[in-house]
A and B are shown apart, each in its own frame.
Chain A
Amino acid sequence: MQRRTWISAFGLGALLLASPVLRAQAMAADAFVRQVSSEVIDAVKADKSIQSGDVARIRQLVDAKVMPHVNFQRMTASSVGPQWRSATPDQQKRMLVEFQTLMVNTYSGALTQVKDQAVVVKPMRGSADRDELVVRSEVRGSGDPIQLDYRLEKSGDGWKIYDVNVGGFWLVDAYKGQFAKDLSSGGLDALITRLADKNKSLASAKN
Chain B
Amino acid sequence: MCLAVPGKIIEITEVDEFSKSAKVSFGGAIKTIDTSFVPEAKVGDYIIAHVGFALSVIDEDEAKKTLKYLDEMFGLDSTEENPN
- The finding on whether chains A and B are genuine partners in a shared complex, rather than unrelated, reads no
Please give the residue numbers on chain B whose beta carbons come within 8 Å of chain A beta carbons, in ascending order: none
Please give the residue numbers on chain A whose beta carbons come within 8 Å of chain B beta carbons, in ascending order: none
